[in-house]
Structure 1
């Protein structure tokens, strides 16, 4: 059954918008919660209360056609839009909708003289619809908030002047300027010396991001300090924020299996209910001695109201909206509700090392100078490494020391081994063990036990020491492994392209029992495929989204780390962690499980209450008022349960 929002907006200004999504629901913008939207319900409610009061005090003029007309007018503001939608559905060939159920039930109540109940049922149904719509908007609020991140204009340098244009008009390679407090309109490279940016809307992180010249910057970030200049690297359509917006807006289109089942169920369930109601009305004639048509028709009408599948049809997608919104607020993008479900079943996590649990940036871990002062030793080393662009050289260059620098002369690179040069008249060698052996330099045995990358140094034909270079662990890496065990992910495995000794050491430091290094992308894929051969293993892979694309695609759930700027991550992964924090994986699991728990609570609540009241109604023990609770009341309880996801603290 396709459920559409009842058009209770007849008195609403024409400027109001209604957006239709692929699921058949019409959800109003946030303005649907404005006072105007509730005017029809307020009119009906006021007239209903007055009518009940006049009935109670048995006012003489409130009889016959006056009473019928009063309740009829009270019914129209909320009843006419529902009847209208029901008629439209019939014209489209969709006969069995909740609009038809509510129309038959309430018009039937009028036909047997139960005017107040007919108005009350439709009124509560209409109010329930309004609350449901408001709740959907609230649940999707975190996702819709991303739309506000979309920059409206760009200040681009053209013809020796800065002019304001639409971001769509800016081309790659142009220079743009961003003033303090403005949003960066396009992806690019920072031309200014430094910048402080607020990336909270993109990553969920409130801490400002400090960047230096040549750093990548992303559309949607807010400039916090001074005016900056940026060279554009992507068109607006290809910018990170545009891709993220598209991904998040389309996430609700990928339904979970639970959602799809309930929708299919509703299509079958509704016509069955209609025919059962007909049966409740007429079949007792053949089996009951004191059959009274009006009594059994009343029971059938109650049956119809109770069986209306509102609570099921709205509360389940609402639960998933809540989960997707809570995740996006925390810098976690699910590509659909189906992956929220899949994440709840994960019991095996395979992770990359570099860029996932480590920062992917080399740092000096240890300096060992032999026969030299450390500062003097480092001056020789830095003078040599200034000639290199290797990542290890960059790590060494970050070493800061006061005093005059040395100048290296006649520096030559020996392929695969290191550098050779002259400093202060002394021959200096900087490189690996092979370079030292080739030049007859004796190396201490202690270097053999070091598994990290080491840089050996010889000064004036004598071994002068070494520097240990290592990739730093991320601050939350250890905590992540502990928390993963706590949430039931018992099987954790590390696969890395780095050498096996380093991989094993990192795994040991993080208490990961299984680790393999020296792997090519196809080797990682084979390992994951082997794990998946055991049907009990539900495997998630977390990697950087660039060289791990095959494994991300092959896993039950592919998680891309730091995917904000990675095209491959956006395309391949099922879940995207917008920051470089592995602990967000634990948060994603918690959000997924809470979402699924709430969805199933709503299903059980809806079925349980409806089943009880259906039996009571068929037996003549329930009135229209109990029927209203079984429908609208349960729907509202389900809504309140679902919006709890928006209030939970996931830290």
Structure 2
């Protein structure tokens, strides 16, 4: 049961038509068997009728069987079905022969439908990534698909839009959110002639860039290719079933042959037709369709369910591996945090935090630094009463300017010490990035800024622990004090800061030295790629993640939500349970009816149930994962 094809929307009727015709003719034949007199509806007419009913569903299988035999593959499910159904015709069991092939085809349609549903779910993931480019042609900007843009063409990207293709910046400059590429939360200023990469987000100005790579070389095309080939990477259980079928199929051929011929030497009232019928029943029952199809379909259903939840598994083998993960190692910036600075706290000496924020925003509005942008964004619309003048940067310290003729300072503690301005000693104990404000030689207060954790970060750690993952580790290039503070807040088991990419790899190697550890690493930037490759399961944050991280990773979380890690584990465990259910169900039912068939207690209709019925039930069980809510 493996020759199922994708159901194209425009040609669905052509796919369903053969089964529909065969079903109508079979049903009509069964009615005619009981209603019409033999003189009119004799054996020849009856045989012709059932041959016509058989051909729409039987010909494709017979053709596939012939091609495989021509390729010296004699023992396969197509040969089994062909011999069993043709044998049924040979001994006059025409309806059974048609029914076996008809239900076989219906099973394929179920399988094709299930596979297509899973593929649609997977491909729908890609809709959240950039799907258009604004290209300059004949003096006009046109919105086109990225596939249509050629190398050397000029495209425009507005503020807030993600760069759809790699290129070089032209006649402009802007700030870009590059956290997906570098792991750093600070936006990067890129000027004319410098490279801009797909995945960066333009923050400031409308920009133009010359395209340097085709769409086919972009992360989008690579991910789509990964989706289309995800099912090629088999799980261990799936590979085991395939190997089992290669041994099992020729074995049942010879057992069926023995069941036909051996009784001649043992049974006194031997009737060839009776034992041939039993052998044919045995062949139909023994067809490994339910196992060969339902097991990979179970995994494919899991891949589809994951995609529906914004998670891309690049192969069934990673679904299997995910069920064994007991250690999760995570990057901080962009994985557990948003990767952007935000104001956390405002403390004013005179308790007027609104005034302090307005004063800070007045001077910080002259800077493009991400800390300055965080403060001006927090302050909102500029207050005309607070208009700073003669603002200048004091390198390594902060900003100095004038407000109403008085000196206004905004910077670190070193800036206030430079001007001999006393400040609250508590400032030195604060872990977050801090901006101190002084006006007219008086300390006014401070503003703390930090890279804010994602809303579901703490939930992610809690849920992982529910799945028995007690070992959660955070590795970050950020300073240790900030990393440890976040780890303590989220409930992470251990945290290490001030790490270079190679130092993250060293930590992973130490963990892998313990063979009991099955490690998942979660990251989003180019700097995380070595760790993603080294781990047992590499998980990339794909919504904002770098091309390198997405390509190296085994699992991609398109929504950038860390809580999806536990969702991925849940889907993997549920999928594995369905696969095991299918294996136990298929083998147990087949063994029972095989024994009944060998002793003559099961008919061809029982064989149809044991083969196609079990396959259909296993397929329906497999697609349950697609409708389950995780």
Scaled to the shorter chain, the TM-score interval is 0.7 to 0.9
State the match for 2:175 in structure 1: none
- 1:508 equivalent in alignment to 2:459: no
Q: SS in structure 1 opposite 2:448?
A: strand
Task: Measure, in 2, the Cα distance between the counterparts of 1:100 and 1:434.
Answer: 83
Task: Measure, in 1, the Cα distance between the counterparts of 2:37 and 2:351.
Answer: 109
2:364 to 385, 399, 402: 385
C-alpha displacement at 1:544, in angstroms? Answer: 1.8
C-alpha displacement at 1:122, in angstroms? Answer: 2.3
State the match for 1:206 in structure 2: none
State the match for 1:194 in structure 2: none
Task: Measure, in 2, the Cα distance between the counterparts of 1:474 and 1:152.
Answer: 26
Structure with bigger RCO (C-alpha 8 Å, 6+ apart):
2
Q: How has the CA–CA distance of structure 1 residues 97 and 150 changed in structure 2, closer, same or farther, with 3 Å as cutoff?
A: farther
Alignment of 1:608-619 (within 5 A): 608-619=588-599
- 1:469 equivalent in alignment to 2:432: no
State the match for 2:394 in structure 1: 413
Q: How has the CA–CA distance of structure 1 residues 130 and 159 changed in structure 2, closer, same or farther, with 3 Å as cutoff?
A: closer
Task: Measure, in 2, the Cα distance between the counterparts of 1:290 and 1:465.
Answer: 106
Structure 1 unmatched runs, 5+: 6-24, 192-213, 222-227
Q: SS in structure 2 opposite 1:140?
A: helix
When the two structures are aligned, how many residues end up with a matched partner? 593
CA contact (8 A) 1:254 1:337 kept: yes
- 1:341 equivalent in alignment to 2:307: no
Q: SS in structure 2 opposite 1:548?
A: helix
1:370 to 339, 349, 367: 349
TM-score if structure 1 supplies the norm length?
Answer: 0.82
Q: How has the CA–CA distance of structure 1 residues 541 and 153 changed in structure 2, closer, same or farther, with 3 Å as cutoff?
A: closer
C-alpha displacement at 1:378, in angstroms? Answer: 3.8
State the match for 1:207 in structure 2: none
CA contact (8 A) 1:173 1:232 kept: yes
- 1:394 equivalent in alignment to 2:373: yes
Q: How has the CA–CA distance of structure 1 residues 240 and 156 changed in structure 2, closer, same or farther, with 3 Å as cutoff?
A: same
State the match for 2:176 in structure 1: none
1:161 to 130, 140, 145: 140
1:530 to 500, 510, 513: 510
State the match for 1:224 in structure 2: none
C-alpha displacement at 1:636, in angstroms? Answer: 0.7
Task: Measure, in 1, the Cα distance between the counterparts of 2:165 and 2:393.
Answer: 42
Q: SS in structure 2 opposite 1:470?
A: strand
State the match for 1:279 in structure 2: 258
State the match for 2:59 in structure 1: 80
CA contact (8 A) 1:484 1:586 kept: yes
1:549 to 503, 525, 529: 529
C-alpha displacement at 1:372, in angstroms? Answer: 8.2
Q: SS in structure 1 opposite 2:576?
A: helix
Q: How has the CA–CA distance of structure 1 residues 151 and 606 changed in structure 2, closer, same or farther, with 3 Å as cutoff?
A: same
1:494 to 460, 471, 474: 474
Task: Measure, in 1, the Cα distance between the counterparts of 2:562 and 2:208.
Answer: 30
State the match for 1:596 in structure 2: 576
- 1:431 equivalent in alignment to 2:411: yes
2:279 to 297, 300, 303: 300
Q: How has the CA–CA distance of structure 1 residues 232 and 325 changed in structure 2, closer, same or farther, with 3 Å as cutoff?
A: farther
Task: Measure, in 1, the Cα distance between the counterparts of 2:453 and 2:556.
Answer: 20
Alignment of 1:70-469 (within 5 A): 70-145=49-124, 156-162=135-141, 167-171=147-151, 174-175=154-155, 235-370=214-349, 373-398=352-377, 399-400=379-380, 402-409=383-390, 411-415=392-396, 417-469=397-449
CA contact (8 A) 2:260 2:276 kept: yes
Q: SS in structure 1 opposite 2:25?
A: helix
C-alpha displacement at 1:397, in angstroms? Answer: 2.2
Q: SS in structure 2 opposite 1:616?
A: helix
C-alpha displacement at 1:66, in angstroms? Answer: 3.3
State the match for 2:26 in structure 1: 48
Task: Measure, in 1, the Cα distance between the counterparts of 2:346 and 2:291.
Answer: 65
Q: SS in structure 2 opposite 1:259?
A: helix
CA contact (8 A) 1:441 1:463 kept: yes
C-alpha displacement at 1:171, in angstroms? Answer: 4.1
C-alpha displacement at 1:261, in angstroms? Answer: 1.9
2:567 to 587, 590, 604: 587
C-alpha displacement at 1:635, in angstroms? Answer: 0.8
Q: How has the CA–CA distance of structure 1 residues 444 and 37 changed in structure 2, closer, same or farther, with 3 Å as cutoff?
A: closer
- Comparing 612-621 with 74-83, greater Cα deviation is found at 74-83
C-alpha displacement at 1:301, in angstroms? Answer: 0.8
CA contact (8 A) 1:414 1:420 kept: no
CA contact (8 A) 1:30 1:137 kept: no
1:39 to 3, 7, 17: 17
Task: Measure, in 2, the Cα distance between the counterparts of 1:492 and 1:290.
Answer: 72
C-alpha displacement at 1:441, in angstroms? Answer: 3.5
C-alpha displacement at 1:187, in angstroms? Answer: 7.9
State the match for 1:606 in structure 2: 586
State the match for 2:603 in structure 1: 623
Alignment of 1:560-579 (within 5 A): 560-564=540-544, 566-579=546-559
Q: How has the CA–CA distance of structure 1 residues 410 and 311 changed in structure 2, closer, same or farther, with 3 Å as cutoff?
A: closer
- 1:559 equivalent in alignment to 2:539: yes
Task: Measure, in 2, the Cα distance between the counterparts of 1:64 and 1:410.
Answer: 104
Q: How has the CA–CA distance of structure 1 residues 567 and 47 changed in structure 2, closer, same or farther, with 3 Å as cutoff?
A: closer
Q: SS in structure 2 opposite 1:360?
A: strand
CA contact (8 A) 2:343 2:450 kept: yes
Task: Measure, in 2, the Cα distance between the counterparts of 1:422 and 1:143.
Answer: 57
C-alpha displacement at 1:444, in angstroms? Answer: 2.5
